[in-house]
Structure 1
Amino acid sequence: MSLATEIAPHLPYLRRYARALTGAQTAGDAYVRATLEAIVEAPDSFPKDVEARLGIYRTFHAIWNSANVDSGISANEGSEFEQVAHERLSGITPLSRQALLLTAMEGFSNEDTAYLIDSSEDEVDALVAEAIAEIDRQTKTSVLIIEDEPIIAMDIESIVLDVGHQVTGIATTRDEAVAAATEQQPGLILADIQLADDSSGIDAVKDILEKFSVPVIFITAFPERLLTGERPEPTFLITKPFQRSTVKAAIAQALFFRSSAAIPA
């Protein structure tokens, strides 16, 4: 099997990680492109003693730690991005965020995470705890949940409350979501893609973002469809079925950067 064939299935998830780490689709995808370029230029340097998924994330971290990657963000966008990042990063180290995302969002074990960030398993535990504590302290807000499956909606509500946020409401259709958001103006939206009346969570979020800016996390059973890197796509994405730790990590990162959603075309 060729190296390209081995790493291809992992690219959508590397994009998800890179976007969450940088807080933007453009910047995250730029680092993924740089990673692929590095592999193409020096395929013999790709780690051969680990599985392909670990290898590509390891290569990504080498790029992340050493390269000045052109993100493609314009000067105005860049200054705003850097201002938010500087404000948030002042209280938490990038390494802590990497450990949090690799374990909670990407599902790597502490052992694998330690390999990826050149750390020990005990240090990974400490870094994750540090990240969660500091991000939670910085980012208390109100949350609108757009989800048509009652059990899943209740589970998400429980997670949101558990990390100290408030829930403004639970909407099951596009119209309900827009009405609820307009009335309450939440600080964060968690939106399923497919809603009860065959309406779209994506369309609901489009309508809401026409009224005001708000960070959005999309929830889907088919993340690879929204992580192609070929069009405007969500920065923050949760895969169904999800782990509670994954939702907590995504919420923390979305609020960390105060990022509004990129809406799929």
Structure 2
Amino acid sequence: MSLVANTAPHLPYLRRFARALTGGQKSGDNYVIAVLEALVADPESFNADNDPRVELFKAFCRYWNSIEVNLASDNYSGEELDNATRRLEAITPLPRQAFLLMAVEDFSKQEIAYILGKSEPEVTELVDQAGREIAQQVATDVLIIEDEPLIAMDIESLVKSLGHNVSGMARTHSEAIQAVEQHRPGLVLADIQLADGSSGLDAVNEMLQSFSVPVVFITAYPERLLTGERPEPAFLITKPFQPETVKAVISQALFFEKRAGN
């Protein structure tokens, strides 16, 4: 099977991982493109006998760790670059990768050890270190946009357990807009499909016309939002979600304070 055929099914999830590391669609996708170009130039570096998903993420992390992360792109103003840099410094790069690989991409400890070129005990320590550093992040007010009551309650409980405050709950586009008019949150957790058939993505984009806030989208179909063909959210949680996944993605989103889809 060709390199393209081996890697194509896994590209949406590599984009998700890259965007979480860089804080945006454009910068994350540029890294993915660079890795694919490197693999095409040197196909022997891709072990075709191994799990292609594991090999693809290994190639990405090898490339990512071989260069200095460059945040100085047109995605950031001078002030935003300073904020992003400070937040990135709050969690050490390698522990951040290990935590995301485990909590968001659902790799096993053995797979993460192979991807990062570490031992399994080292991976355990990296994940533990990330958890300690995440716990030190500043709490914020969170708006939850979710039309399913039980899921909304679960998210609310989890957000509070992380030390954040839930400033509002919304089930529709209009309720979400009303909520931010009453109190501007420091973070938004938004479902895509809302109770009245309206779009959480549309609601968030309307909010972002007035103020900047980090956004995490929640969806049962992440591949539909990770095609690279249009402006898309940088931070996604897949339903059904695990508490560790929510913790990892919220932490990443708060580092960058990025507009959705930038």
Using the size of structure 1 for normalisation, the TM-score is 0.93
Tell me the distance in 2 between the aligned counterparts of 1:89 and 1:81: 12
Question: What's the secondary structure of 2:142's corresponding residue?
Answer: strand
* C-alpha deviation, 1:6, in angstroms: 1.6
What is the CA-CA distance between 1:70 and the residue it aligns to? 7.9
Deviations 1:139-183 (A, max 9, x none): 310111000001111111111111111111210000000101121
Q: Which residue of 2 aligns with 1:211?
A: 210
* 1:121 is the counterpart of 2:120: yes
- Looking at structure 2, the residues matched to 199 and 207 of structure 1 have their Cα atoms a distance apart, in angstroms, of 13
Q: 1:71 to 1:188 in 2, by over 3 A?
A: closer
Structure-to-structure mapping, 1:127-138, within 5 angstroms: 127-138=126-137
Asked if 2 retains the 8 angstrom alpha-carbon contact of 1:30 and 1:69, the reply is: no
Q: Which residue of 2 aligns with 1:60?
A: 60
Partner Cα separation in structure 1 for residue 153 and residue 255 of structure 2:
24
Q: CA deviation at 1:39?
A: 1.3
- The amino acid of 1:89's aligned partner reads L
Residue 78 to residue 209, structure 1, CA distance change in 2 (3 Å): closer
Matches within 5 A, 1:170-209: 170-209=169-208
Counterpart contact for 1:26–1:72, Cα < 8 Å = no
Q: How far apart, CA to CA, are the structure 1 residues paired with 2:180 and 2:125?
A: 37
Q: 1:183 to 1:220 in 2, by over 3 A?
A: same
The answer as to whether partners of 1:193 and 1:220 remain within 8 angstroms in 2 is: yes
How far is the alpha carbon of 1:49 from its aligned partner?
Answer: 4.1
| 2:5 equivalent to 1:20 | no
For residues 68 and 82 of structure 2, the distance between their equivalents in structure 1, rounded to whole angstroms, comes to 18
SS at match of 2:13: helix
Provide the rounded CA distance (Å) in 2 between the counterparts of 1:11 and 1:249. 20
TM-score, scaled to structure 2: 0.94
Structure 1 distance, partners of 2:72, 2:220, is: 29
Judged with a 3 Å threshold, the aligned counterparts in structure 2 of structure 1 residues 234 and 104 are, in CA distance, closer, same or farther, namely: same
Distance across 2 between alignment mates of 1:237 and 1:248: 12
For each residue in 1:82-102, what CA deviation from the matched residue of structure 2 results, as whole angstroms up to 9, or x when unmatched?
422321233321001001100
Distance 2:8 2:89 in 1: 35
Deviations 1:187-222 (A, max 9, x none): 000000000000110111112112211100111111
Query: 2 CA distance for matches of 1:57 and 1:92?
Result: 20
What is the CA distance between 1:78 and its match in structure 2?
6.5
User: In 2, distance between residues paired with 1:153 and 1:177?
Assistant: 13
Contact 2:71-2:81 at 8 Å conserved across structures: no
Residue 106 of structure 1: how far off its partner (Å):
0.5
Could you tell me which amino acid in structure 2 is paired with residue 22 of structure 1?
A: T
Contact conserved, 2:212 with 2:257, CA < 8 A, in 1? no
Query: Distance in 2 between the 1:171 and 1:132 partners?
Result: 29
2:77, 2:186 → 1: CA distance? Answer: 23
Q: 1:69 and 1:145, CA in 2 relative to 1: closer, same or farther beyond 3 A?
A: closer
Question: What percentage of residue pairs aligned between the two structures are identical?
Answer: 58
Counterpart CA distance in 2 for 1:72 and 1:16 is: 20
CA separation of 1:69 and 1:120: change in aligned 2, threshold 3 A: closer
AA at the equivalent of 1:14: L
Q: Which residue identity lines up with residue 47 of structure 2 in the other structure? A: P
Cα distance in 2 for residues equivalent to 1:98 and 1:256 = 14
| Cα 1:98–1:69 shift into 2, 3 Å | closer
Which structure 2 residue ranges, 5 or more long, are not aligned? Answer: none
The equivalent residue for 1:46 is 46
**How many residue pairs end up in the alignment?**
262
Amino acid in structure 2 at the alignment position of 1:165: H
